[in-house]
Amino acid sequence: MRVMMNLQELKHTAQRLMANDKGLLAMDESLGTCNKRFKALGIPETEEYRRQYRELIVTTPHLEESISGAILFEETLYQKTETGTPFLEILDHKGIITGIKVDQGAVALPGFPAEQVTEGLDGMQNRLATYYKLGLRFAKFRAVINIGRDTPTNTAIRINAVTLARYAALCQEAGIVPVVEPEVLMDGDHTLHQCAEVTRTVLKEVFNELYEQRVQLEGMILKPNMVLPGLSCQDQSHIEDIAAETISCFLQVVPAAVAGIAFLSGGQSATLASARLNMMHQKFGTVIPWPLTFSFSRAIQQPALEKWSGKAENVAAAQQMLAHRAACNSAARRAEYSPSMETNKREP
């Protein structure tokens, strides 16, 4: 009985996250990642500046028109605006569902040079119970896969798949929708075709493990990479080929029961990420069985972060850029994104 009730709740949360052509905003950069991005722009790498930046994001006007859920980092959960309102309260008032990154980063896999496994399962049951009490209703856990001369190995793929499925099962037990993120990295000179092969193999293993560990597919979201050529591959591939390879790969290995697919951006430019998502809907919108949306961090945040650069006088303009990128991606879900959107922006 408890299992059935749980599934209804999980399905309901997942459907809300996928509804109304919206997507997820990943604002869950860990301290290291956030500080690295701040450092590149000369922003002080302090808790106060991270708080100010996250305040800029959560108070962005119109954000809720395109964003259904925000993935937070632990530090952000307890932070407040300058005037003392908790960020969780602000997001709740906007109707944005709050989620949290629960992995603790990738570490080297002993015996397998250049491969990694993600940590964070220890003590997760207790942490999830605390998050649920705080009102969080979804979580995210990321595993990374490198394409190289001798990688990925079957062992690294299998260990990461087992870990992702174990995390997903723990989340569902706690009434929290797991966002399962196996990321095949863009680094390297591999071709579009090689990325398709590896992504297919990884997803097959991930779904095998999800079945093995009795994860309810209707109550989970997949957060994968798009199928893309490596950043240093000579042939960067046409948008139409990328859309076709990505959709073909997922149709082969992602069951229709999955509540939704929400892409990571992985280092693509903001405009390319929107254009590629748009093309998938334009060409395949009538055949895909799952809601297909975005869960971008850099491809939504980076232009706004650069505009802000730690300066109070840039907050309004940065917020406008953030809302604009979110709106572009929501338009891409409707196959209505076009480069002209980049020049006709809403005024702050």
Active site residue 45: no
Q: Is 52 among the residues that bind ligand 5MM (CB under 6 A)?
A: no
Within 291-320, the residues that bind ligand 5MM by CB under 6 A are 296-299
- Exposed, middle or buried by CB within 10 Å (0-12, 13-18, 19+), for 42? exposed
Active site residue 197: no
Beta carbon nearer to ligand 5MM, 265 or 320: 265
Instruction: Please pick, from the candidates 6, 9, 11, 30, the single residue that binds ligand 5MM as defined by CB under 6 A.
Output: 30
> Which whole-number Å values give the CA distances from 343 to 199, 259, 328, in the listed order?
35, 34, 11
Q: Of the listed pieces 59-67, 241-249, 260-268, 275-283, which binds ligand 5MM according to CB under 6 A?
A: 260-268
Closest residue by Cα to residue 258 from 306, 210, 222, 300: 222
> Which whole-number Å values give the CA distances from 25 to 16, 227, 307, in the listed order?
14, 20, 18
Q: Is 120 among the residues that bind ligand 5MM (CB under 6 A)?
A: no
Q: Is the dihedral of CA 258, 244, 240, 237 positive or negative?
A: positive
Instruction: Please pick, from the candidates 29, 115, 205, 245, the single residue that binds ligand 5MM as defined by CB under 6 A.
Output: 29
Q: Kindly report whether the peptide bond that precedes residue 152 is cis, defined as omega within 30 degrees of 0.
A: yes
186: left (phi over 0), alpha (psi -120 to 50) or beta: alpha
Q: Of the listed pieces 7-15, 23-31, 159-167, 244-252, which binds ligand 5MM according to CB under 6 A?
A: 23-31
Separation between Cα atoms, residue 297 and residue 282, nearest integer Å: 23
Q: Is 325 among the residues that bind ligand 5MM (CB under 6 A)?
A: no
Q: Of the listed pieces 28-36, 48-56, 88-96, 321-329, which binds ligand 5MM according to CB under 6 A?
A: 28-36
Separation between Cα atoms, residue 181 and residue 220, nearest integer Å: 11
Q: Is 21 among the residues that bind ligand 5MM (CB under 6 A)?
A: no
Residues 6+ apart with CB under 8 A from 108: 115, 116
Please give the distance of CA 2 from its chain centroid, rounded to a whole number: 29
Beta carbon nearer to ligand 5MM, 224 or 257: 224
Q: Is 105 among the residues that bind ligand 5MM (CB under 6 A)?
A: yes
Q: Is 141 among the residues that bind ligand 5MM (CB under 6 A)?
A: no
Beta carbon nearer to ligand 5MM, 101 or 190: 101
Q: Is 33 among the residues that bind ligand 5MM (CB under 6 A)?
A: yes
Catalytic annotation, pick one of 181, 183, 209, 245: 181
Q: Binding-site residue total for ligand 5MM (CB under 6 A)?
A: 17
Instruction: Please pick, from the candidates 55, 115, 183, 209, the single residue that binds ligand 5MM as defined by CB under 6 A.
Output: 183
Residues 6+ apart with CB under 8 A from 47: 75
Catalytic annotation, pick one of 22, 94, 140, 223: 223
Q: Is 324 among the residues that bind ligand 5MM (CB under 6 A)?
A: no
Residues 6+ apart with CB under 8 A from 133: none
Beta carbon nearer to ligand 5MM, 263 or 290: 263
Q: Is 28 among the residues that bind ligand 5MM (CB under 6 A)?
A: yes
Residues 6+ apart with CB under 8 A from 33: none
Per-residue tokens: 4: 């059935």
Active site residues: 181, 223
| Contact set with ligand 5MM (CB under 6 A) | 26, 28-30, 33, 71, 101, 105, 142, 183, 264-266, 296-299
